[in-house]
């Protein structure tokens, strides 16, 4: 799509201002967009900073923080095992339903990637997916990494399948541009080997070497490997229950390139951003039904009450 048709499409859309902000947010001007959002929510911003400052990171997580800061990723092995098991079981049920029941799934341009949560789904804090994504250790680690309490922007269950089509969208190299701070937690719900579309990424320092223009796009391998040594790519193969976090805002990444027609990948993803969130505009489809056990939890799931006091 050329620039003129993009501008025309935005101008004629239902909420052109929101579309303009979203587009600017995907450019090198996104720090300005974020600053605008922060200035519009000063109390929330201050609260998010002070909550993060008060967090005492458990000693066992300090190496994870160090690795995140240095490399932009860390392997996660501190999650509650029973909760992980419950999550994987529920993911398998969702997959079974997807295969057997016609539901209102969000069909999208990613033919290689099925969304297993229905379009109109909403969650409460009692959902296993939410409990895991908002577990205290995860939120504390991210708060220390961002230097500010995170917002749980979305939770997501994807089922990647082989196609015979050319690589597209997230099968190509890109960084997420949803926010200035973006961090993702990934959990494999089946064994993932090199043929089942593992997540690939370039650690932070390598990603910095990639010179792209004003607007982030999705790039073919040639473009990336002309600037970065291919050996530096991390290929996240792993058994069912493997879990890792990646700063997908600054680490170039891609995945779901399934090379064996008999294989597939079932993966849970939780996406966190700084507060206030730019991309989802406080709409993570999660409601708190119980009293939040901590400020960090409240901010991650439902910062609306704080926002509304401004």
Ligand X SMILES: O=C(O)CCC(=O)C(=O)O
Positions in the binding site for ligand X (CB under 6 A): 160, 170, 176, 184, 199, 248, 253-256, 269
Q: Which residues contact 197 (CB under 8 A, 6 or more apart)?
A: 112, 160, 255, 256, 257, 258, 259, 263, 264, 265
Comparing CB distances to ligand X, the nearer of 197 and 303 is: 197
Q: Which of 45, 20, 70 is nearest to 151 (CA)?
A: 45
What six digits make up the tokens of 97? 């339903």
Please, which residues have CB within 8 angstroms of residue 162's CB and are 6 or more apart in sequence? 112, 258, 259, 260, 261, 263, 264
Please, what's the b/e burial string for 200-210 (b: 16 or more CB within 10 A of its CB; e: otherwise)? bbbbbebbeeb
Could you tell me the smallest distance in angstroms from the CB atom of residue 274 to ligand X?
17
**Based on CB atoms, which residue is closest to ligand X, 52 or 132?**
132
Q: Tell me the three state secondary structure of residue 184.
A: strand
Least separation, in Å, of the C-beta of 82 and ligand X?
Answer: 26
**What are the φ/ψ torsions at residue 161 (nearest 5 degrees)?**
-130, 160
Residue whose CB is less far from ligand X, 135 or 269:
269
Rank residues 160 and 302 by Cβ distance to ligand X and give the closer one: 160
Question: Which residue from 163, 65, 180 is spatially nearest to 111, judged by alpha carbons?
Answer: 163
On the CB side of 252, how many CA atoms lie within 13 Å of its CA? 26
Nearer of residues 121 and 161 to ligand X, judged by Cβ: 161
Q: How far is the CB of 212 from ligand X (least distance, A)?
A: 16
CB of 267 to ligand X, least distance (A): 7
- Pairing status of strand 286-287 against strand 151-160: unpaired
Nearest approach in angstroms of CB 290 to ligand X is 29
Tell me which residue has its CB nearest to ligand X. 255
Which residue, 95, 94, 85, 125, is CA-closest to 287? 125
Cα(121)–Cα(128) distance, rounded to whole angstroms? 14
Nearer to ligand X, 246 or 296 (CB): 246
What minimum distance in Å lies between the beta carbon of 135 and ligand X?
20
In the complex with ligand X, the residue whose CB is nearer, 34 or 184, is: 184
Shortest distance, position 287 Cβ to ligand X, whole Å: 24
């Amino acid at each position: 799509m050329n620039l003129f048709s993009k501008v025309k499409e935005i101008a004629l859309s239902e909420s052109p201002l929101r579309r303009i902000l979203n587009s600017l947010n995907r450019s090198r001007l996104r720090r300005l967009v974020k600053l605008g959002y922060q200035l519009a929510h000063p109390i929330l911003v201050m609260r998010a900073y002070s909550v993060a400052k008060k967090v005492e990171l458990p000693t066992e997580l300090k190496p994870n923080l160090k690795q995140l800061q240095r490399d932009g990723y860390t392997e996660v092995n501190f999650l509650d095992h029973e909760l992980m098991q419950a999550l994987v079981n529920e993911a398998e049920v969702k997959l079974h339903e997807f295969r057997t029941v016609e539901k209102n799934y969000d069909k999208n341009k990613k033919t290689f990637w099925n969304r297993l949560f229905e379009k109109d789904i909403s969650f409460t804090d009692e959902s296993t997916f939410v409990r895991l994504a908002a577990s205290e250790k995860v939120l504390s680690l991210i708060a220390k990494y961002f230097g500010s309490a995170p917002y749980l922007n979305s939770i997501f269950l994807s089922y990647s399948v082989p196609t015979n089509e050319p690589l597209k969208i997230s099968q190509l190299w890109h960084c997420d541009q949803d926010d200035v701070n973006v961090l993702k937690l990934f959990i494999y719900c089946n064994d993932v080997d090199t043929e089942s579309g593992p997540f690939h990424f370039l650690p932070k320092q390598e990603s910095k070497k990639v010179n792209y223009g004003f607007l982030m796009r999705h790039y073919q391998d040639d473009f990336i490997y002309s600037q970065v040594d291919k050996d530096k790519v991390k290929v996240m193969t792993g058994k069912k229950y493997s879990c890792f976090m990646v700063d997908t805002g600054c680490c170039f990444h891609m995945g779901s390139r399934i090379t064996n027609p008999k294989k597939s990948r079932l993966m849970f993803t939780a996406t966190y951003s700084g507060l206030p969130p730019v991309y989802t505009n406080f709409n993570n489809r999660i409601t708190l039904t119980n009293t939040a056990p901590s400020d960090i939890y409240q901010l991650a799931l439902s910062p609306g009450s704080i926002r509304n006091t401004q």
